[in-house]
Chain A
Amino acid sequence: MTFLQATCLVVVALLGTLVVFTRDPLRQAAVTGIFGLGLAALFLAVQAPDVALSQIAIGAIVVPVLVLLAMAKIREHDE
């Protein structure tokens, strides 16, 4: 395991913990996106660029947007 791979693994573990301890869903959506980018860097470090690209597309585009839109709908109901 190279230094880069080990660093990526540690960063992913830290970011994952951060996602769990972020309680506000709005902030969690943003932190999840950053966690997704860290995961993409890890995939790149273990020479899986295809998986990294899919991870960027899903983790940075689809998941945060869907969470935000769903939350917009929920807030509207709360008011």
Chain B
Amino acid sequence: MRSFVALAALGVLGAVLVVAVTGLEPFGHYPGPYGDVLAKVVPDERHTGQLVAATVFDYRAFDTLGEEMILFAAVCGCAALLRVLRSEHAGEGAPGRPVPSFAARAMAAALVGPVTVLGVYVIVHGHLTPGGGFSGGVVVAGALLLAYAGGQGLRLRRVGSITLLEGTEALGAAGFLALALAGLIAAGTLLKNFLALGTSGMLLSAGTIPVGNVAVGLEVAGAVALVFAEFLEQALLEDPE
């Protein structure tokens, strides 16, 4: 009976998918006007060739602000859910995590620097090349995880470093909010550009876009590293029995 229902549901789903796909535009034929309009106006209006960054931080920046707040709230919820209760503290004899092998340590030591530089590069060049605050922030958080996985002394689970990560995340979210309000104050519209646009292709150009990227990068790096740290803390915790 169950497999019959599953097969019937799969059949209906397949039929609907076929109908939906046959109604699509031919492959590579983009029907909407927005992409073409943006491709025409962005180079003049924002002095950048990175249409995605310009769209995210200008033409639909209010959505980005909402997404930032969603990420912030989600990570706050995650941190609250995974926090270590007083009754959960590891005892003196807790084994903790195993010591990493020499190969793992050497690999991590060799990679932490380059990965961090790559992450920062992706963040600050977000208005020139693909990437930006989100992907760069995750890469930076990955570098922190690498340092943890290969390191002996560094411990993400110490309360101090969790507070630091929370501070980084909050700083990024507050920075983006400040950028939005600065547009309201300086240019009269929320999130409107109020900085010099500069020469297209230079590191300091495209007005508020790189600033927004740095704020988002800080928030995402803090948020992802914080979730990692909270998960690690729970995974390494000994059950009080």
Contacts and interface: CB of A to CB of B under 8 A. Distances in A.
Kindly state the interface size class of chain A when it binds its partner: 10 to 19
Interface string A38-79: 000000000001101110111001100110011011001100
A77 B224 CA distance: 25
Contact of B224 (A49, A62, A69): A62
Contacts of B235: 69-70, 72-73, 76
A28 B131 CA distance: 28
Which of A1, A53, A57, A65 has the largest number of chain B CB atoms within 10 A? A57
Given A50-B52, A70-B231, A77-B239, A61 B131 contact: no
A53 B122 contact: yes
Interface residues of B, number: 22
Nearest to B27: A1
B230 to A, nearest CB: 9
B228 interface: yes
Nearest to B126: A50
A10 to B, nearest CB: 15
A50 B182 CA distance: 27
B135 A53 contact: yes
A50 B141 CA distance: 18
Interface in B213-241: 224, 227-228, 231-232, 234-235, 239
Interface of A: 1, 49-50, 52-54, 56-58, 61-62, 65-66, 69-70, 72-73, 76-77
